[in-house]
Structure 1
């Protein structure tokens, strides 16, 4: 089932503070290295919600954050026209991610998920689905037992109401930690899978895009593989249905590029765009995202 035109997007996923570190050269173990260090709002779920909001989609975003941050984060998300449903955790702080950016734009992560780890079934009542046209869940929600039970319950409710579900695997490291087979079983039947090259390789066991598509298409209705500088492809168990190139751009920071891609694809689909229009929009959004530091666009001006 592909996303229908119209309706809200319900995004469920992490909220993080991204500490982005761009060293001038290789790290000097036991000594100093000059670096540009910036703090930015992040988290895969939050990134997707903000990109969708910036693109004019009608977005409802649910996440668990440190109780002290609820008010400020609510204001932040509302600035993008998002309906934020933030659950304040009384014990754990909001998550923090340290991103180390290589000179070629590739990233390595150190992750403290904080309050995100306490997302619970009670945080996701069925009323969240009222008026929703598609549910988007970050793979990070599957990497710990509590959040996994919560989003699996939400999946079941969405399917019973005929609402499409999209999943982004999010992290090869965590996929390998929980087991690729487990992740495939937990998410099987999702309407859309957004995977990058590395995630598609890990999930399918195949190096070639066509083989990845055919294998993953046995688990998911529609598969979208984000191929970085090579563009992106979409298809199903029959293989690649459409593959498009990406424009050549200077990569400053690839953080959030995949989230921007997914947002562009979904926002276009909800406006009634066909497969080519959706893929073109995703590629354009991802290409724009790598030109700036951080995983989210600049805040929308008040009144937009």
Structure 2
């Protein structure tokens, strides 16, 4: 069998993260529960940006963060997402491609501008995310390069992208191409509000046997199955060939048929920012999966990558992940 040209091709939001430290009092004054994630409009994005003080701008987006980590580990990756023809769009493309991720979807002309996520980091490291989707909201179905999808080992779908109608249509087209070509389909549900909003659709994808790998955290799993997390893992494992459930500081567990493995969270000196923890966990796990590693080693790689990203601000790794993984495995 011919090896895939890309270990993972991902579809996701192309968003620039703006990260700033804030006090608990700031969050309370703005009516933002610590750890929450919400979509905001352009006016609120401008207002909140003006209040949040100095910030660090880093290219982000859940699926793109995962690909960045995978590429740093040595995987071959490609990204499908939408930026605008503006300064942030150019910066975003440069940041991603400079890591070695293929990203050649043409920029979108006119409004809205490239998306951005305003990430407010509390003193305990918990992050509150306020996302203006911008141009990423308008990824068209014709942006799907069918040959690119066929060339992948895994098609990775970002749950945040399921809400807007155009990206949803693009993802459905990609799923159809992947299934016909025998490419595995992975879905990350991404956030509790995504599952609340799209539980029916996500469950339909699972029931129709369109999802081969599912990434959830405990809360998302419980919402999806309308049960507690442990029971949800059991029912999901009956319907999805491979389920990976992260458990925050308690680590993670994966189930594939009768095979089950778990891992403890990677110890870090100080949790500075949990932004990107789930994204980088998926990066490590999928890299191991692409290398045909066992479940336990895939989970360990995920924990190592997540541990690195929560030890500093921002959702992209700062350490040499390949060297870090080699030193710990």
Off by >4 Å, runs of 4+ in structure 1: 4-7, 32-36
- Correspondence for 1:114 among 134, 137, 148: 134
1:15 maps to: 14
Question: Matched residues in 1 for 2:316 and 2:234: separation?
Answer: 32
- Of the three residues 38, 53, 70, the one matched with 1:52 is 70
Separation (CA, whole Å) in 1 of partners of 2:3 and 2:246: 23
Question: Which has the higher mean CA deviation after the structures are superposed, 70-79 or 257-266?
Answer: 70-79
2: CA distance between counterparts of 1:187 and 1:74? 32
Report the more deviating stretch, 93-102 or 182-191. Answer: 182-191
2:215 corresponds to: 194
Which is further off, 181-190 or 146-155? Answer: 181-190
1:146-225 superposed matches below 5 A = 146-176=166-196, 178-186=197-205, 188=207, 189=209, 190-209=211-230, 211-225=231-245
Query: Larger helix proportion, structure 1 or 2?
Result: 2
For the 8 Å contact 2:127–2:274, the answer to whether it is kept is yes
Count of residue pairs the alignment pairs up: 293
**Which runs of 5 or more structure 2 residues have no equivalent in the other structure?**
31-49, 321-329
String of CA shifts for 1:246-296, please: whole Å, max 9, x gaps: 133221101011110001011111122111111110111111110010111
User: What secondary structure sits across from 2:25 in the alignment?
Assistant: coil
TM-score, L = length of structure 2: 0.82
| Cα gap change, 1:142 to 1:186, in 2 (>3 Å) | farther
Taking a change above 3 Å as real, the CA distance of residues 126 and 299 of structure 1, as seen in their structure-2 partners, is farther
The residue number in structure 1 matching 2:143 is 123
Asked if structure 2 preserves the Cα contact closer than 8 Å seen for 1:24 and 1:33, the reply is no
In the alignment, which residue of structure 1 is the partner of 2:267? 248
Residue number among 91, 96, 99 corresponding to 1:80 in the alignment: 99
How far apart, CA to CA, are the structure 2 residues paired with 1:236 and 1:274? 10
Q: SS of the counterpart of 1:157?
A: helix
Which runs of 5 or more structure 1 residues have no equivalent in the other structure?
Answer: none
CA RMSD of aligned residues (A): 2.4
Scaled by the length of structure 1, the TM-score of the pair is 0.88
Cα distance, 1:78 vs. partner?
A: 2.2
| Stretch of structure 1 that moved more, 48-57 or 18-27 | 18-27
Contact in 2 for aligned 1:194/1:225 (Cα 8 Å): yes
Q: What's the CA shift string for 1:79-111, capped at 9, x where partnerless?
A: 211111233111221111111222222222211
- Between Structure 1 and Structure 2, which shows a larger proportion of strand residues? 1
For residue 149 of structure 1, give the secondary structure of its aligned residue in structure 2: helix
- In terms of mean alpha carbon deviation, does 119-128 or 253-262 score higher? 119-128
